Structure 1
Amino acid sequence: MKNGQISQAPFRLKNFFFSESSIKIEPSTKAQSIDISIQPQGLVNESEKTFELELFVNIESKDGLKISIKLIGTFEFKEVVKNENLSNYFFVNAPAIIFPYLRSYISALTALSGSKTIILPPMNMSSLGKQLEENTTRKE
């Protein structure tokens, strides 16, 4: 921040969509804990100045709930980003930016299913950073 000016982030969310979605619910009156797994994957396209983030999400409970979702978010950046900045910009922040959309989608999906609504807790997405870094490719 210079002279009271707020600096803009070097990238922004351009768009997102849910490319795959599957839900299986067995009626249950018991409250069960759910297991959540998230596998991230990324693609840096230097010529288009974009970063595509894919989150493969699986949610399961012992009472028969199974949800599988593939969420794709496209981020655009102002300039070519050096490797050392990727971890700061994309690998940590991109999953955190897109996660609220995933939470909202799962809540709406389960609420409209006639079952009890699943509300995912807020999560610290920084733990996905290393995995996302390993699963990101570059395209020039």
Structure 2
Amino acid sequence: MKVKLSKTIAPEFYLKHVPKATELAEAKLNLGFKQIYPSEQARRFDIQFHLNLLVPEGYELQIVYTAIFSTEEDIDEQFKASDFPRVNAPAIAYPFLRAFVGQLSLNAGYKALLLPSINFTEFKQ
């Protein structure tokens, strides 16, 4: 099945100055993601990331970031159970989230923040 990343969007993001964060030795990252299959669109699925980050530079960043994928065929249960939506699609979308975080932190007046690389095969289990 051919799959294409159609669009990325950040429907929610929040950056707040948090003076106590300067006491941290390193950034505290909490990252999760889930697959979304809109019932009205049989050839679409989304990967939605939820990121919460406390940075020693003195701020907190919360982001909901969605990558929208399209397919040439209707998505079935076999596809949903495959590795693609659980491993490959998040791995494809994550660099876009990393770039967004880097640009957002830089444009907010902070040092550009680079999220760590992630091996999404570990999320498979």
TM-score class normalised by the smaller sequence? 0.7 to 0.9
Could you list the per-position Cα deviations for residues 90-128 of structure 1 after superposition, in whole angstroms to 9, with x for gaps in the alignment?
111111111111111111111122222211122112333
**TM-score of the aligned structures, taking structure 1 as reference length:** 0.72
Equivalent residue number for residue 71 of structure 1: 65
Q: Please name the residue that 2:104 is paired with.
A: 109
Q: 1:18 pairs with 10, 23, 34, which one?
A: 10
Contact 2:29 2:54 survives alignment (8 Å): yes
Which structure 2 segments of 5+ residues have no match? none
**Percent identity, aligned pairs only?**
22
How many residue pairs are counted as aligned between the two chains?
122
1:81 Cα deviation from its structure 2 partner: 3.9
Residues 31, 110 of structure 1: alpha-carbon distance in 2 compared, 3 angstrom cutoff = farther
Query: Relative to structure 2, which stretch is displaced further, 94-103 or 36-45?
Result: 36-45
- What TM-score does the superposition give when structure 2 sets the normalisation length? 0.79
Matched AA of 2:54: E
Structure 2 equivalent of residue 100 of structure 1: 95
Instruction: Tell me which residue corresponds to 1:39.
Output: 32
3-state DSSP of counterpart to 2:37: strand
Take 2:34 and 2:14, find their aligned partners in 1: how far apart are those partners? 19
Distance change (3 Å), C-alpha of 1:117 and 1:105: same
Tell me which structure has the larger Cα radius of gyration. Answer: 1
- Unaligned 5+ segments in structure 1 are 1-8, 131-140
The 1:37–1:24 alpha-carbon spacing in structure 2 relative to 1, beyond 3 Å, is: same
Alignment CA distance shift 1:43-1:29 (3 Å): closer
Backbone CA RMSD of aligned residues: 2.6
Contact between 1:25 and 1:115, CA under 8 Å: does it hold in 2? Answer: no
